[in-house]
Each structure stands twice: as structure tokens, then as C-alpha cells.
Structure 1
């Protein structure tokens, strides 16, 4: 792939978003310099290794390092000298003392880069931030940069799905740029020329609208997930089947079937913290009632974890004390090693705290899980995790677990009892093989 214009790009922050963006921009033909203050991370990426699990990314990284289009540094002066366009791709986690977003990483990037910008440049934010942040960043850069108003700011939210990050960067379902500058728009059109030529929608908005796009999308998706999980609560009480209910709803094209999968609920580094930060920002803007429904969305999501624990406890006689439990899954979703706000690990940790001997297995997230929860027991295979288990919990819907052979598992467990926290298995098949099967929202 060849870029339409040989702009040089820097990507500031090389976590999940930044590393993916840097490698994929190089894949599109740009010369890219990734920057991070974490020297170990820079060394890992420079050696062609991705410090997290993302299918297909390492191949793109290695290919573009070899081609000379991609390299990494921890030197802001080098980035300022090298690049025409700087992408801010740092994290905005939830603050420890509130639901609001922690913007310290964004501010640190701005304060480190801006004083070094001595010539015209464009700074594009991709980090998910509260509305109003971009205008503040623009003012700060203008005040600090020697080039002053010749450094212009835009905001282009990312829409990456973990497990599909390369695909979603190279062929996104839309590109949004918030700016009031013709130059920033021109630069983004040049960078996005390949995607625009493929017919991918390119939308120009003001800064505030661009900032709202990502958090609004996540709030909607979280609401849809929590809606079907609320219906699961009702279905359990009424003796209905939420899977059949979700299927019936999905045929209505106004509703659709995506994100209508009932189960343990959402987690990860985006949806939970983004809806909480959205509520916090609405409160600051004086429109808190407009997003008050998100409090119940969050509460429904958390209740699914407690309900999964209750079902498992009921299957083993009402107490976890001294019991052996096998947990399949640690990542918040399949095809990822991300354990941030993982429902699976939350459930495993809670059951352990109630006195059970809990063993966890995950195809990719074990090392991250061990660092976060060293008190749990870990196995390196599915069969090892469920050996002697009195109940098995499937909490992350990896293909390996969906395709598990109930007869093979039956040979090693103490009791053939399973809680399907993701509605990933065929209940009749497992029951026919002698298992007591329970799932959220099903009879």
C-alpha cells in the first residue's frame, strides 16, 4: 500500500491503541515513529514483539519494521523533529477517586510535546476523552508550542474492537474527524485516502461532536447488552428462555442481533469506564439526569456476576467453603488477553474469597491474571483446570471452550455440573451427556 502523501507520523503512546495504530499506519505506507515513556515496551516493539495478544498485529509489526517504515523511540524531541502529524493514543482510565476519566496521560503528552513543536504541525487525538477535552488541549498546545497557532488540533475517535484491531484500523466502518480547520481536514483526508477510496464513510464534525461519538456508541452498546441481561432476569423469574427471546427480537431490523447476547455481561478497558466517565462529565455539564439511566445499565451488568455466583453456589449445596471449582476464562472477552474489569476474574476471585479452591484456565490471559490475582490457582489446559471440580464455570467464550467435549471433561471432574456464564454451549447436548447444565436466563 502506498500513501497518497508522504506525511510523517508519530504515535504517542504504544499501548493497545497506539501500537495497533502505529503498525497499521505504516502498513498504509506512511513513515511512522511510535513513542512511549516505557523503555521496556519500546524495546519489545522494536524487536518485533507485541506486548499483548492481538491476532494479526505481530505480522504487521514485523513486516513494517523490516520495510523501514516503522520504528520506536522514547525521545519526544525526536518525535517533534520527525513528524508532520502527531497522534495522541494514550489511555484514559477511570480515576481512583471517582468515576471520571483520568486525563493525566493526555496532559503529560501535551506538556512534553508542545514545547518542542517549532514548525507547523497537526496533532490528532484518538484517545477517548470527556467532551471539552480537545478544546482544552488545543489551547494548551497553542500556548506552549513555539510555532503557536501553526500547530492545529483535531480529534478522531478510535472504534477498535479487541481481537479485531488490525481490521478495524485498516478498514474501519467509519472515520470521524472533529475540527474547524481546513488544513486538519485535508491532512486527515490524505491519511485516510486508502479507506475513503474503498467507500468507507469519512465524516467531519466539530471537536465536541467527535468527542461524543465514541462514548455515545459505547453507552448505546452497553445499554443494549444490559437490556438483554435485564430480560434474562425476567426470564429466569418467569421460566422463559432468554436465548429464544433474543433470537425473536433480532429479526426486527430496528433492533438487530448484535450485542444482544445474554450472559455474564461486559467488561474490559472501554465500556465500563467510558459509561462511568460519561455520567461524570454529564454531571459536570449540569445534565446528569440525561444519563441517569446509565447507572442502571451499570448495575444490571454487575448483577449478572452475582447471579452467576448464586447459580454455582446453588448447584453445590449452598456453600463454596472447601469446594473445588474450575473456571474456564480469565480475559474479559475471547481473542484478547485483556483482564481489565474482567467479569470472569471477578467471579473467580469472589468464589475464592468464599472459601473455594478455584483453578482458572485461559488460552491467552493467564500471565496477566496471575499478576493481578496471584492468590488464585492457574492451569495450563482446560482439563487441568477442571480436574476434580465439583462445578465448572464457563466465563469467557473462547472457541476452545465452546467446542469442548463433555465426555472428555466428565472423565476428570468430580461432579458433572456446569454453569454456562456466556450461553455458549448447547444445553441439550450437555444434558444428554449427563451434565447438570445451568445458564443465565434459561430454564
Structure 2
């Protein structure tokens, strides 16, 4: 059996490794457009922030290690065409056949159509090379413009501030940061922290033109409001889209955003062709609606499912994801899980919710901080469908317990009000914030 995998990141290399463990005799070929595989892209901001100095730390496993186990890797190779009828993949001047095909090409950064976007020192945060050049470019005297205030944008802001004295400006098209993930009460606290860190935030604004100097280097940006922002480094963190442009005119069924449509077995509409990770659409766990989860956690799970199904013929199902997310922003920590506000409102789901502001532990142990929790339940099912937290000192790790309640589809009732949560003065109060929220919900 010959399996060809296009893409060498979390899903692709996860499939390759597990499939080889399941069947030592299987022939596995990975086609990767970069010279390396298994990049931990989530670590790029922390490399820029000098949390570690060797960029090779971003590589979880080198190509040589995969090849030692019998997995062939064609690096620096781009697929040009796939003939699904004849099971043939074309790249450069070569062609290879397959019995099973896995498409795991991930996502690509959104590059906006802005005048002079080809100027030097305008970067995305997507590859090891991106991390290296950004780290080597930004100095204490730099004027850095971050476009977008999602997770990656804010992680870059935090790490650049920790590593340098650079002047930082954030441009955000929406009316607040992290809008698709957190409600206003939470994002207001993040925006206060941005101000506290002497970082300029420009909301409800966007860049319409970059201004270049004689060396084709960016020196300023013009906003839609006519402002001129001086900058010598620009970081694009607007978001990502599935990296499926080469499949646009193929027989493969795609969503409107370019994501590959898959079923619960991670199969596409074409026999013996699978897809997983950032390039495909997946099920939401709660309502079985279709979403694209740009999360390494989802990619890793789907890799195992694909390998199992190739080896054992539909032995594993992907049951869905919650979009659980956690982020540190200076002293603040935020966590969330479940469907977002937009989905709830668009689908007219009748809900009940509570917002609690309490303390993370007892007042007689030093370091007590505010802790915020919002829980939203579906009135029809009495189940939690969204939880958001913001606090400090790792207090938001309570999200793990809430994820468990959501995953088990536990009813919010008097029995749950008595849930036996741990108590100790350095960690919590006798009546935890989760207890308070549940009591108010019932």
C-alpha cells in the first residue's frame, strides 16, 4: 500500500508517523514545499521574544529521523496538479502514483490587497524563515506596525515588547481586539493592558497604502482615515485561509473559504483521498455545524484518525471540536471554549448566561487577583455551550474543568452545583467562581 501525503506539518507528519507504526511495510511519501517538516509555528512569536535562541527548536522532528523509520520526504517540492481519476500527482517534471492520498497543506496568511505591499520589511508569521528575519530586523529603535489583533498579533506584540524597546502600533479593523473569540467585558481588559504597555491601538481603522523609501523599504503606512503612521517593520496578522489554491479547479469539493470538505472519517468526496488540519472544514462538537479550526490540537487528532482509517478502513471518527483557545498577554491570561457569540445569535439559540467577577484565591494569601468568568447555556438542553475566562496566575486553567463539562454534555442543575472542586487558600476560595456561576444559572 502506497500513501502519499501532501504537506509536512502537524497533520501530514502525524499521519506518516502513526501509519508507519501501524504498518511497517507501508510505503509512505511526504511532499513538502519547505526544506524542513514538523514546524511548531505556534512558537514563532516566542522565538522572536527571545524565549529561546536556536530557531531549530521550532522543528519537532527532523527529516532524517522520519527517513530512518522508512518514510520518504520530498522537500522543497510543490505539487502542481493532481489527477484524481488516475491517482497521479504531478510536481516539477515528475509524477508519482498513490493508493491513498492525504492532503494536509495547512493554511496560508492572508495578504491584503494594499498598495506597495511588496515593500521590504513587511512580514507574515508563518515559517521558520519569518521568525528568523523578524527577530533579526527588529531593534530597540524600530517602529513596528502590527496589522490585526487576533491571537498571533497579540502574541507578537507581547514578545516584541519583552525583547525590545521598539515603538509598537496595532491597527485593527474591528471595533475591539479578539472580537471573534471573546466578549466585550474581556477585550476591554486586554485593551487596558495594551495602553498600560505604552502601545498604540487604532481600532475601526485599516491600512490602504504603504509608503516606501528609495530602497523599496517601508517607512510609513496610510490609513483609511488619512493618517500617516511611521513604521519600518510591518507584521501582517490579519488571519489565515486554507492553502488550497492549487485545488480550486479540481474535482475536490471545497467550502466557500477554500477549505476541503470532509466527513467524520476525514474522507473527501473522492475515494481514497483524505484531508485534515487547517486546510479542511470540520465538525463543531456541539451542534455539528461546519467550521474551519486553525488549531494544532485539531490537526493532531485528525492525523491519528486518518492513519487509523487508511490502515483499518473506517475504524475512527472525528467527533468535532470546541475551538478551545488560551492565550497569555503580559500578566493577563485568557481562555475560552465552545461556540462564539456570532454563531449563537445567527442561529437564534435561546440562552441563559452569567458573568461573574470574583477573586482567584483567598485574601490572606498574597497575590490575590481578579478573575472573570462567563458561562452561556442552551436553555433547551441546559448544557454549557460557551465559557470565557480572564485572570492571572494561571487561574484560567479552570477552563480544563469547564471543557470536560461541555464535552460530557453535563446538565446545569442542582447536582452540578455541588460539583466537588478542590479548595486550598493559594489556589481558590471555598466557593469557587465556577460554583458561583452555576448557582446563578440554576
TM-score class normalised by the smaller sequence: under 0.3
Q: TM-score, normalised on structure 2? A: 0.25
Which structure shows the higher helix fraction? 1
